[in-house]
Amino acid sequence: SSIPKIVILGAGYGGVLTSLRLQKELNYNEADVTLVNKHDYHYITTHLHMPAAGTDNPENARVNISKLIDEFKIDFVKSTVVQIRPQDRKVILEDGTLSYDYLIVGLGGEPETFGIPGLGEHAMNIRSINSVRLIREHIEYQFARFKREPHRTDFLTFIVGGAGFTGIEFIGELADRIPELCKQFDVDTSLVKIINIEAAPTALPGFDPELVEYAMQVLQKKGVTFRIGTAIKECTPDGVVVGEGEEIKSQTVIWTGGVRGNRLIEEAGFETMRGRVKVDEFLRAPGHENIYILGDNSLVFNPEGRPYPPTAQMAMQQGVNCAHNLVASIRNQPLKTYTYVSKGTVASLGKGEAIGVAFGKKYKGRLAAWLKKAIDLRYLFIIGGIPLVLRKGKFL
């Protein structure tokens, strides 16, 4: 048929927002839209630190895609993308092929290991529902193992590599969970160590120093040890090697040292930096007028020429802009330039504690924690309205 085919890869923040906008803005029979995702659910990545530590149920961090999109307007295909072929305008799935006129790539990033030996094999990542269920079970299992081999205190040492926002949010939750686990397994809390290792001269490099100081104090009070200015050099089955060869024994290493673009992007032949495509002002891959790249796979520069950090906030805005430009392309109307508008940054430090900068002001403690809840609820509202807020929202 002559109806243009739009294929959206990935139902993350970028893919879902593009889909929701398209189903609202496109007229009947104006385009054929297909959304492809590995799972039949969308996961709320920004909540994953909680189920990873076991302070929340993983079910609260995922939503069935059928509850989000209108399947009369968008075809959903549950499959894994294995190759993108821009030269043929095709996408190869594990179980089939799709051809497209417009392609939107929202496959999310991958853990960046910087080639550090052993990290890929022996460390765990906070990435998906499956990866956080593994972390949660693994942590509980270490307590059970320790009860059988009480001389193995290394079973009770938990290492988090990287004190970016992901690492900091996770240790906040982990520090809340440990006393619960100690009670459940009859373990003396003083035997447990939570060590956050950060290579840079400060935790949360680049963030407001006063708030960083506050965050470290809150976390230290909860029992976290920081090793700042200390790089992880290697990860082994028995722990990590840091700095000038010091070994820290642990059976649990969670790597939160950074994110890169999806391998499928560079394999497709796009020009990338750390796996990300420097998109044009309309969010398209250079040289490809029909391919949009969103979220953690895109690289957008600020007016000073530095790349913005990849966030859910940005992926969502890009999804809205991308849907607008797809509709405009189909209708032969002018495209709209994408400009990032920061609404601020708020990071949780566990129950009742957070830090943040928003509306040009700094927040910490309970007020910041409340702001974080409000941001989480707002997202549920945007993608699924009041019913989703009531089903998955946390209000306490």
Q: Contact residues for ligand FAD (CB under 6 A)? A: 10-15, 36-39, 42-43, 45-46, 48-49, 80-81, 106-108, 126, 166, 169, 294-296, 310-313, 315
Contacted by 257, from ligand NAD, ligand FAD, none: CB < 5 to 8 Å by type: ligand NAD
Interior angle at CA 213, CA 210 and CA 219, nearest 5: 140
Q: Is 56 left (phi over 0), alpha (psi -120 to 50) or beta?
A: beta
Q: Binding of ligand NAD at residue 250 (CB under 6 A)? A: no
For the stretch 200-211, what's the b/e string if a residue is b when 16 or more beta carbons lie within 10 angstroms of its beta carbon?
Answer: eebbbeebbeeb
Contacted by 275, from ligand NAD, ligand FAD, none: CB < 5 to 8 Å by type: none
Q: Binding of ligand NAD at residue 310 (CB under 6 A)? A: yes
Q: Binding of ligand NAD at residue 198 (CB under 6 A)? A: yes
CB of 280 to ligand NAD, least distance (A): 21
* Residues numbered 123-182 forming contacts with ligand NAD, rule: CB under 6 A: 161-167, 169
- Report, in angstroms and rounded to the nearest whole number, the Rg of the chain calculated over CA atoms: 22
3-state secondary structure string across 83-136: EEEHHHCEEEECCEEEECCEEEECCCCEECCCCCCCHHHHCECCCCHHHHHHHH
Q: Token pair of 355, please?
A: 């830090």
Q: Token pair of 96, please?
A: 């089939």
Residue nearest to ligand NAD (CB): 164
Number of residues that bind ligand NAD (CB under 6 A): 25
CB of 385 to ligand FAD, least distance (A): 20
The correct pick among 117, 120, 150, 205 for binding ligand NAD (CB under 6 A) is 205
Contacted by 198, from ligand NAD, ligand FAD, none: CB < 5 to 8 Å by type: ligand NAD
The correct pick among 92, 93, 134, 200 for binding ligand NAD (CB under 6 A) is 200
Task: Choose between 105 and 197: whose C-beta lies nearer to ligand NAD.
Answer: 197
Contacted by 232, from ligand NAD, ligand FAD, none: CB < 5 to 8 Å by type: ligand NAD
Task: Choose between 157 and 262: whose C-beta lies nearer to ligand FAD.
Answer: 262
Q: Binding of ligand NAD at residue 248 (CB under 6 A)? A: no
Contacted by 231, from ligand NAD, ligand FAD, none: CB < 5 to 8 Å by type: ligand NAD
Contacting range for ligand NAD; rule: CB under 6 A; set: 63-71, 90-98, 191-199, 359-367: 191-199
Question: What residues form DSSP beta bridges with 104?
Answer: 8, 292
Q: Binding of ligand NAD at residue 209 (CB under 6 A)? A: no
Contacted by 167, from ligand FAD, ligand NAD, none: CB < 5 to 8 Å by type: ligand NAD
CA-closest candidate to residue 120, choices 107, 131, 111:
111
Burial class from Cβ neighbours inside 10 Å (0-12, 13-18, 19+) for residue 320 reads middle
Which CA distances in Å does 234 have to 118, 161, 252, 375? 6, 11, 14, 37
Q: Binding of ligand NAD at residue 259 (CB under 6 A)? A: yes
Burial class from Cβ neighbours inside 10 Å (0-12, 13-18, 19+) for residue 47 reads buried
In the set 112, 169, 210, 247, the catalytic residue is 169
CA-closest candidate to residue 146, choices 192, 212, 77, 89:
192
Tokens 């409340």 map to which residue? 370
Nearest-10 Cα torsion for 115, 120, 126, 131: 160
Active-site residue flag, 169 = yes
CB of 25 to ligand NAD, least distance (A): 29
Q: Binding of ligand NAD at residue 197 (CB under 6 A)? A: yes
The DSSP 8-state label assigned to residue 205 in this structure reads T
Q: Binding of ligand NAD at residue 116 (CB under 6 A)? A: yes
* Interacting residues with ligand NAD (CB under 6 A): 116, 161-167, 169, 197-200, 205, 231-232, 256-259, 309-311, 345, 347
Catalytic residues: 169
